[in-house]
């Protein structure tokens, strides 16, 4: 940054008035991160990140204009304001976006840790080395860890506008990830996972984590195809959370309004089985997406999306809420200063049940436990809910895991599947390392189509 933050705010608002903007807002975000990747006992790459940028929104003759810049000098600010004005001139959206004056109160989100903020590079490197060693020691068939990294980051966000809004927050996050490769004769198998903590590096428990991913990879060796048929399906928590993550836009109020969600017009209807309750909560202890306010400065809270199978609310920002005649649910989202305003969950999750994963397996007669899904960006249709995805898992017979399975696809419809959940695990797990995170316990589905041999 080449200007002090308050100076910058003054400069932007003053210039903005000259450009004809009546109300204005700046969204400033600064991120810093250090990351290390280890390969075969040595540091492979070491990255140092610092970046900051400014996004501007302004009302110009009744329409909102948006632009951003990472270059923070006089000339770039002028360029940004000019572009924002031109963008306001061409925007035709029937429902007008408005700047927000602020919520009455904000709940603190406790997502900043001094300990993480002060963790040095040497500690990070040691953690990654320990993680690799644990992964390699997990099983004699682990050949190498083709990815083994630890990232420590912190971020500050400030939203200030001419209507009086002044929101600021800072957060920290440590993430570790491992991809382990196991080999036996001609067979190769890999496993990947990540873990996060907003509080401390110790929470990641890198040795136990490396060991677990290593064992996961080894357990997949010898996987084979299986006959195409309909099977009972258990989605392990990580797999179903990833699928929910992919489909979270189905619950977006603005998508429903635009006819881009199968749930359009279905508020109040039973859209899932009566055993399904889905909640978005921005203040869930230990969850990755906690935040005191959303990207429009609206205070966040807890929203019931599905209650006992019934669709009770969409996730809204100010614009979609106004259109639906309800209050914003605090789900406005901008992917940092570079993003456009949309809606996104904070921490969206399916309420856990009471059974352990082992119990779900024990109650399965002839089924497959899916532990990994691939091609989620392409094999899922976010508008219809249809999916057909490459998958890996384990074949279950008479309540016992028999062998690993690969080269299969699992197909169905996400919403229809939620009407056929037979049993719900208690092992809630989140996927994602920031806002937009989704969580689920392992779920057992009556039947889905598996393609294989």
Q: Restricting to residues 96-135, which ones interact with another protein according to CB under 8 A?
A: 121
424 binds another protein (CB under 8 A): no
Under 8 Å between Cβ of 59 and 21? yes
Listing DSSP states for 214-266 in one string gives: HHHHHHTTT-B---SEEEEEEE-HHHHHHHHHHHGGGGBHHHHHTT-STTTT-
Q: How far is the CB of 369 from another protein (least distance, A)?
A: 18
**What is the distance of C-alpha 212 from the center of its chain?**
22
Stated as kind and residue range, the H or E segment containing 63 is: strand 63-69
269 binds another protein (CB under 8 A): no
Minimum CB distance to another protein smaller for 91 or for 207: 91
Minimum CB distance to another protein smaller for 194 or for 406: 406
388 binds another protein (CB under 8 A): yes
Q: How far is the CB of 140 from another protein (least distance, A)?
A: 18
Rounded Cα distance, 323 and 331, in Å: 15
386 binds another protein (CB under 8 A): yes
Secondary structure of 381-450 in the HEC alphabet?
CCCCCEEEEEEEEEEEECCEEEEEEEEEEEEEEHHHHCCCEEEEECCCEEECCCCCEEEECCEEEEEEEE
Minimum CB distance to another protein smaller for 103 or for 406: 406
Residue 330 neighbours by CB under 8 Å, 6+ apart:
282, 293, 294, 298, 299, 300, 301, 303, 346
Rounded Cα distance, 370 and 235, in Å: 5
Q: How far is the CB of 38 from another protein (least distance, A)?
A: 11
Minimum CB distance to another protein smaller for 266 or for 426: 266
CB atoms under 10 Å from CB of 400, counted, come to: 11
Minimum CB distance to another protein smaller for 363 or for 449: 449
Residues 42-101 that bind another protein (CB under 8 A): 42-53, 65-71, 76, 79-80, 83-84, 86-87, 89-94
* 8-16, 188-196, 198-206, 357-365 -> range binding another protein (CB under 8 A): 188-196
Residue 118 neighbours by CB under 8 Å, 6+ apart:
none
* 102-110, 232-240, 322-330, 441-449 -> range binding another protein (CB under 8 A): 441-449
Q: How big is the CA angle at 154 (ends 288 and 147), to the nearest 5 degrees?
A: 70
378 binds another protein (CB under 8 A): yes
Minimum CB distance to another protein smaller for 391 or for 438: 391
Pick one of 207, 224, 310, 407: the residue that binds another protein (CB under 8 A): 407
* 4-12, 159-167, 310-318, 409-417 -> range binding another protein (CB under 8 A): 409-417
297 binds another protein (CB under 8 A): no
Q: How big is the CA angle at 276 (ends 272 and 279), to the nearest 5 degrees?
A: 110
Q: How far is the CB of 346 from another protein (least distance, A)?
A: 22
Rounded Cα distance, 294 and 316, in Å: 11
Token pair belonging to 436:
């937009």
189 binds another protein (CB under 8 A): yes
Binding mask 227-246 for another protein (x = CB under 8 A): -x-x----------------
390 binds another protein (CB under 8 A): yes
274 binds another protein (CB under 8 A): no
Minimum CB distance to another protein smaller for 363 or for 388: 388
What is the DSSP code (8-state) at residue 73? S
Pick one of 10, 14, 137, 188: the residue that binds another protein (CB under 8 A): 188
């Amino acid at each position: 940054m080449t200007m002090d933050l308050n100076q910058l705010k003054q400069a932007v608002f003053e210039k903005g008035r000259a450009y004809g903007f009546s109300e204005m807002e700046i969204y400033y975000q600064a991120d810093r991160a250090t990351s290390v990747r280890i390969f075969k006992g040595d540091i492979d790459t070491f990255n140092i990140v610092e970046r900051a940028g400014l996004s501007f929104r302004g009302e110009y003759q009744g329409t909102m204009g948006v632009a951003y810049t990472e270059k923070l000098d006089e000339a770039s600010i002028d360029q940004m304001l000019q572009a924002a004005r031109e963008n306001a001139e061409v925007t035709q959206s029937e429902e007008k976006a408005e700047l927000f004056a602020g919520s009455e109160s904000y709940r603190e989100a406790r997502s900043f840790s001094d300990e993480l903020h002060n963790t040095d590079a040497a500690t990070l490197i040691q953690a990654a080395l320990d993680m690799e060693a644990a992964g390699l020691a997990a099983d004699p068939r682990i050949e190498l860890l083709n990815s083994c990294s630890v990232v420590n980051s912190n971020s500050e966000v400030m939203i200030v506008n001419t209507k009086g809004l002044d929101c600021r927050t800072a957060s920290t996050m440590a993430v570790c990830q491992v991809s382990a490769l196991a080999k036996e004769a001609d067979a190769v198998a890999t496993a990947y996972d990540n873990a996060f903590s907003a509080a401390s590096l110790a929470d990641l428990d890198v040795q136990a984590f490396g060991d677990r991913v290593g064992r996961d990879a080894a357990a997949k060796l010898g996987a084979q195809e299986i006959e195409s048929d309909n099977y009972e399906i258990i989605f392990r928590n990580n797999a179903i959370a990833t699928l929910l993550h992919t489909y979270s836009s189905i619950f977006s109020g603005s998508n429903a309004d635009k006819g881009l969600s199968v749930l359009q017009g279905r508020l109040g209807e039973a859209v899932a089985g009566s055993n399904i309750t889905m909640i978005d909560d921005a203040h869930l202890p230990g969850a990755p997406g906690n935040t005191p306010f959303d990207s429009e400065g609206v205070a966040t809270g807890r929203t019931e999306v599905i209650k006992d199978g019934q669709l009770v609310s969409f996730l809204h920002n100010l614009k979609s809420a106004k259109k639906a005649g309800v209050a914003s649910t605090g789900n406005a989202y901008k992917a940092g200063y570079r993003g456009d305003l949309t809606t996104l969950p904070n921490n969206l999750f399916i309420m856990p049940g009471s059974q352990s994963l082992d119990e779900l397996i024990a109650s399965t007669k002839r089924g497959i436990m899916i532990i990994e899904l691939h091609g989620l960006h392409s094999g899922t249709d976010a508008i219809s809910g249809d999916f057909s995805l490459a998958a890996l898992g384990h074949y279950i017979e008479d309540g016992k895991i028999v062998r690993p399975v690969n080269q299969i696809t699992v197909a169905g419809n996400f919403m229809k599947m939620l009407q056929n959940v037979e049993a719900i695990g208690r092992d809630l797990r989140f996927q994602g390392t920031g806002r937009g995170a989704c969580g689920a316990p392992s779920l057992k589905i009556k039947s889905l189509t598996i393609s294989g041999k």
